[in-house]
Amino acid sequence: MSRIGRLPIEIPKGVTCTFANRQVTVKGPKGELKQVIDPDFKITLEEGTVLVERPTEQKRHKSLHGLYRSLIANMVEGVSNGYKRQLEVIGVGFKATAQGNVLDLSLGFSHSIIMAIPSELKVLATQEKGQNPIITLEGTDKQLIGQIAAKIKSLRSVEPYKGKGIRYVGEFVRRKAGKAAAK
Residue 36 is part of a domain; what is its CATH number? 3.90.930.12
CA distance 154 to 165: 9
Number of structural domains (the chain) is: 2
Asked, for residue 54, whether it belongs to a domain, the answer is yes
pLDDT of residue 180: 77
Q: Are residues 50 and 15 in the same domain?
A: yes
pTM of the predicted model as reported, rounded to 2 decimal places: 0.88
**Residues of the chain below pLDDT 50:** 1
Q: Taking CA 137 as the corner, what is the angle to CA 49 and CA 173, rounded to the nearest 5 degrees?
A: 105
Number of Cβ atoms within 10 Å of the Cβ of 31: 14
Q: Are residues 42 and 107 in the same domain?
A: no
Asked, for residue 89, whether it belongs to a domain, the answer is yes
CA distance 7 to 1: 11
Asked, for residue 125, whether it belongs to a domain, the answer is yes
pLDDT of residue 183: 59
Residue 22 CA to chain centroid, in angstroms? 24
pLDDT of residue 3: 82
pLDDT of residue 47: 84
CA distance 11 to 52: 14
Query: Can you spell out the DSSP letters for 168-182?
Result: ETT---PPPP-GGGG
Domain stop point among 26, 61, 80: 80
CA distance 162 to 90: 10
